[in-house]
Amino acid sequence: MFDYFKGFVTDKRKTAKGTFVTIEAAGAGYLLEVNEREFAGIKTSEADIQKLYTYLVHREDAMSLYGFANKETRDIFQILLSVSGVGAKMALALLNEFDACDLISLVINGNFKELTRAKGVGPKLAQKIILELKDKLIKTELPQTACALPQTQAIGDTRAVLISLGYEEKEIEDAVKKVFSTIDNNANSEEVLRKTLTYLSM
């Protein structure tokens, strides 16, 4: 019904029921539940026009809108809902614990023990998620689109410096992905390099 809303966020709040934002678009305010991982990066300012992809869950007693910073995370949320026993709250719990790329990797590699880190996900449900979604994720384009790094100057510069310092390609790729998921896409070379070096030294 709704693909995305584009406007400014007028309110954001955490409650016992979840993490929510209100986005105003075309004069109307829409209440969206979002995952905690993306919540911090959402700004409440009329100067910051934001685009949130949405998914509508329609139950007998209520309709709820869920918002996501990018289309790939929204699509993964929808795929998670296809698993019997996984509702919207459970899908959000998984996305709170893992970014899209890590979640895809865990399912494809059959790492059910790591999946149990998510709140409310026990070993049996984790194994069920892998059983039902592994082939589906392998056959979709999500592993490539969700995990691909943008080809920015900052990332290119960071790779070049780290290679000159003797780091392996795989090590660099994993570190930059982890760091880039926590910073702004427009971060400069110095910031990306500094944070990546910090991550590698941990």
Q: Residue 103 sits in a domain of what CATH number? A: 1.10.150.20
Judgement on whether residues 158 and 109 belong to the same structural domain of the protein: no
Q: Are 63 and 77 within one domain?
A: no
- Are both 112 and 87 inside the same structural domain? yes
Query: In this predicted model, what pLDDT tens digit does every residue of 25-50 receive, in sequence order?
Result: 989 999 999 999 889 888 888 888 88
Do 76 and 141 have their domain in common? yes
**Is residue 127 located within the same domain as residue 162?**
no
- Predicted confidence band of residue 51 (pLDDT cuts 50, 70, 90): very high
pLDDT in tens, 59-90: 878 889 999 988 889 999 999 999 999 999 99
> Alpha carbon 153 to chain centroid distance?
23
Q: Are 12 and 48 in contact (CB under 8 A)?
A: no
Q: What is the mean pLDDT of residues 21-25?
A: 95
Q: Which of 103, 81, 85, 106 is nearest to 94 (CA)?
A: 103
79 and 142 both lie in a single domain? yes
pLDDT (0 to 100) of residue 121: 94
* Bridge-based pairing state of the strands 4-15 and 50-58: antiparallel
Q: What is the pLDDT of residues 82-117, one digit of tens each?
A: 999 999 999 999 999 988 888 888 898 899 999 999
Of 23, 38, 68, which residue is a domain's last?
Answer: 68
Whole-number pLDDT of residue 148: 67
pTM of the model: 0.72
Mean pLDDT, all residues of the chain: 87
Helix H or strand E segment including 98 = none
Residue 199 φ then ψ, to 5°:
-65, -45
Going by the DSSP 8-state scheme, the letter that residue 148 receives in this structure is: P
Burial class from Cβ neighbours inside 10 Å (0-12, 13-18, 19+) for residue 4 reads: middle
List, in sequence order, every residue forming a beta bridge with 8; answer none if it has no partner. Answer: 24
Number of domains comprising the chain: 3
Per-residue model confidence (pLDDT) at position 34: 96
Same domain (yes/no): 166, 186:
yes
132-182 pLDDT per residue, tens = 998 888 777 776 666 766 667 888 888 889 888 998 877 888 788 778 766
Residue 133 and residue 78 in one domain? yes
In terms of C-beta density within 10 A (0-12 exposed, 13-18 middle, 19 or more buried), how is residue 179 classed? Answer: buried
Indicate if 81 and 58 belong to the same structural domain.
no
Q: Which of 110, 127, 146 is the last residue of a domain?
A: 146
Judgement on whether residues 88 and 26 belong to the same structural domain of the protein: no
Does residue 17 carry a pLDDT above 80? yes
Amino acid identity for residue 40 in this structure: A
Range of the domain at 184: 153-200
